[in-house]
Structure formats: C-alpha cells, structure tokens
Amino acid sequence: QVHVVESGGGLVQAGGSLRASCLVSGRTFRDVAMGWFRQAPGTEREFVAAINMNDGSPYYKESVKGRFTISRDNTKNTLYLQMNGLKPEDTAVYYCNAVSGYAPNYRPKYDSWGQGTQVTVSS
C-alpha cells in the first residue's frame, strides 16, 4: 500500500500552466510504477499519465500528449505532472496512485485514494 498527498493545483486561464505534485510514502517509491488520474464533476475517474518504475518511460492519455509531462524524483519520493497549454476540459480533481499493468492498459493499483488536487481552467 502507498499513502499519497497531492498538491499544486489551482485556477488558471486557458493556455496557462500548473505543476501538480504527489508525495508518496508507505513503500519503496522507486519500486512502483506511478500514475495520474483525474475526475471531472459528473464523470468517472480517468487515466491521464503513467511513468514506468524501471526506465522512467512515460505514457499519456491521447488528449494530453504534447501538453503534459509526467516525471518522478526518487530521492524525494515525489511524482510530478507538469501541465502546459491547459484547456477548460482539463478541469478536474487530479489524483495520483500506483499503477498496475502496462501501456496502454495501466490501471490504479490500490483502491484507496488521496484527497486530490483541484485544477480549474477558465476560458
């Protein structure tokens, strides 16, 4: 099991940038693949991006490719999501979780979630 604390969300205008962070504890961070998910009001939580634990290779939801960058700092047990060129449709609560499986079928590994961080993009 991992315990996560997300931060870094906020309110930005369309075209702006934010960086979400996820501090992870509970097991060796470098031994788990990690991912970001998001949930907009009235919708199901969806996959956004994941990063492999071995070679750090990323995988993205098609609609965020070229705009979002996932990264990890194993020395700080922290996962990041740099979000550039934000669009109103990116508005959601963003969550991190360990992931299972392999691209393109990553799925959340654990049933428990953190509180998430709200990203709101105004048009």
Inform me whether the pLDDT recorded for 58 exceeds 90: yes
Tokens read off for 72: 């990890």
**What are the pLDDT digits (tens) for 63-100?**
999 999 999 998 899 999 999 999 999 999 999 999 99
Indicate the Cα dihedral angle 75, 118, 86, 68, nearest 10°: 30
Question: If we measure between CA atoms, which residue out of 100, 76, 103 comes closest to residue 7?
Answer: 76
Tokens read off for 4: 């996560």
